[in-house]
Amino acid sequence: MDVRFVAVFIVCFLASLLGPLCGIGGGVIIKPVVDAMGVMGVGAVSFLSSVSVLVMSLSTLVQNACTRSSSIDSRSLMPIAVGSAVGGVAGKVAFNQMIAVLPNADLVGAAQAAVLIVFSVLVLIYTLNKDRIAGVELRGAAPQALAGIFAGACWSFLGIGGGPFNLAILVFFFSMESKTAAQASLFIIAFSQTASLVYTLVSGSVPDFSLIVLVGMCLMAVMGSVVGRKLSKRMDSSTIDRLYVFALLLIIAISLYNFARFAIL
């Protein structure tokens, strides 16, 4: 196995810490960083990143359930969670279509990086000004499901499994405070990533990848979720907000590098 995959495992562990801390799926870090390493194709990175995010979210949810430390009402989140699952499949279909249409993988990577930059900048602006921006609380299952469909489709298309964007959606549309929104984000991510994975398996669109790399990334995702939960207990919402802003800035920087590498270099 290429020694560079050790770096992939380290990235996966560090990114998975962000799940329990601020609801970031980790794929939003894993995908662009591993793309920048150039150790595997764009399709393989998207798939392995999505699986890692799913494992991390399920691991964290199981730990919360076993310790009865969950602060979310799963029933009230079902419309957006189910919507995100539907959107997850739609996003995967769009991604597969783009791979089939564009002449090379670099253009796919450039398109993903460009969309990720736009979303990250918009969410960063909102996060820095959210105290001055009035939220719009969604009421009713249909509007909540539509929000979930949009979110699930975007994150599945980008191969990032939710990233920091779920947190902004939950704060703006559901008036949640940061720590509660982080847990709710993982609940939603679990739905969208499960649907996306099932579609990939059923449609036979699984890319080529190393089984050892898959196992290693999944183990790192579990370890990251365990350590992240322990760190989360020591942090308040203001600390989580600062970590969230740092993660957004990191994502923007990495995505800018990837866009230049795919589209220009």
Q: Please say whether the beta carbons of 26 and 16 come within 8 A.
A: yes
159 Rama class: left (phi>0) / alpha (psi -120 to 50) / beta:
left
Helix ranges (H only) for 23-104 are 27-37, 42-67, 74-101
> pTM for this structure?
0.80
Distance CA(189)–CA(57), nearest Å, equals 7
Please, what is the angle between helix 237-263 and helix 178-203, to 10°? 40
pLDDT of residue 264: 73
Tens of each residue's pLDDT in the chain, 265 residues: 567 788 999 999 998 888 887 777 777 788 778 877 888 887 788 888 888 988 998 998 899 888 887 777 778 889 988 998 888 788 878 877 877 777 677 777 788 888 888 888 988 898 888 888 877 777 888 888 988 888 888 777 776 666 567 778 888 888 777 778 878 888 888 887 888 788 888 888 788 888 999 999 999 999 999 998 888 888 777 887 788 888 888 888 888 888 888 777 5
Closest alpha carbon to 28 in 112, 95, 93, 110: 112
